[in-house]
Amino acid sequence: MADQFDVIEAGQHHRRRRWTGIAVLAALLAIPVAGLLAGRAPEPEPGIPGYGTRPSAAPMTTTKAAPNVLFVTPRTKGGDEVIRVVFPDGTPAEVRYPARLGLAALGSRPFQGAWVDGQYRRMSAPYGGAAEVSKGGKPLRNLTPDVELWPRQPGSGSYGQVLLFAFGDWRLALYDRPEGLTFEQRMAAAGHIRGRVTKGGYLVLAATDPVRLARPGETVQGDPVGPQLWFGGVAGDVVGLILVPGCEAAPPAPMMIDRRGRPSRTACRGGVQIAASGSPAFVERAVKEIRITLK
């Protein structure tokens, strides 16, 4: 094989030198022209904005962390604050609490359990939005224009890969198990879970077969998985409001709130379970003084 290439080179040696010289001259002339063109080029597009935009095909390494949280302005009644909320199933409610509790200032996020072709998975809004899921990396693939599949997050314990949904300004993560849903089940989740944003900014979810959203009061291994609103971030004081029809006693706090290693308590009031975690004084006020009226 080496001999045939040697013959070709030997037969075209003088022409090869001439064309090489021409190529070098062309390259030298192209350098200043490229510089002029670069000078006229438009400014590069900025990286993916965080909260408030639809996910882009640009590298997620430019994603900026931004709160994936809804902050509303409360009304005041005497020494209390009042906010209107909407649970992920569309149930509206009015929440009243002592102003010093500062619930509105903590911001709220939705939580919703779901079954995909009979497999239970939890969905929640990561506090840091897309950046909290991306960890500076890139998605494995786009399942639909509004749903991305992301690798397993470091330190995620028993959870596997993540489906990240974009619903308006909201980013909602469906956390898979290590064994993972099948490709068909992931496509079913991506195509059969729908979300709309209310005028007040709350996310309301719906699903069609083979996906079913958990109903108010449903549990998995004793943990409530129905429509919920969480107030607060990954650290500090947290309150969960959970729709539990007929809730009378004080059931255990949900795993996602109780496992934080801080004091936690629950109470039931008006068909809603109140679960609080954080400083002892905050927890005490939350379970005793939050009042909820379902509309």
Instruction: Please report, as a single letter, which amino acid is at residue 101.
Output: L
Please state, in angstroms and as integers, the Cα–Cα distance from residue 251 to each residue in 57, 198, 238, 265, 273, following that order: 44, 30, 17, 9, 8
Residue ranges of the alpha helices (H) in the chain?
Answer: 2-11, 13-40, 103-106, 130-134, 183-192, 255-258, 280-289
Instruction: Look up the pTM and report it.
Output: 0.76
Helices 2-11 & 13-40 angle (0-180, nearest 10)? 80
Q: How sure is the predictor about 178, in pLDDT bands with cuts at 50, 70 and 90? A: confident
Distance between CA atoms of residues 203 and 169, nearest Å: 9
- Contact between 291 and 269 under an 8 Å Cβ cutoff? The reply is yes
Supply the pLDDT for residue 168. 96
Neighbours of 143 (CB within 10 A): 19
Supply the pLDDT for residue 247. 85
Q: How sure is the predictor about 66, in pLDDT bands with cuts at 50, 70 and 90? A: low
Percent of the chain's residues with pLDDT above 90: 62
CA proximity to 110, closest of 189, 169, 188: 169
- Calculate mean pLDDT across residues 149-158: 78
Distance between CA atoms of residues 162 and 199, nearest Å: 28
Summary mean pLDDT of the chain: 80
Q: How sure is the predictor about 115, in pLDDT bands with cuts at 50, 70 and 90? A: very high
pLDDT > 80? residue 59: no
pLDDT > 60? residue 240: yes
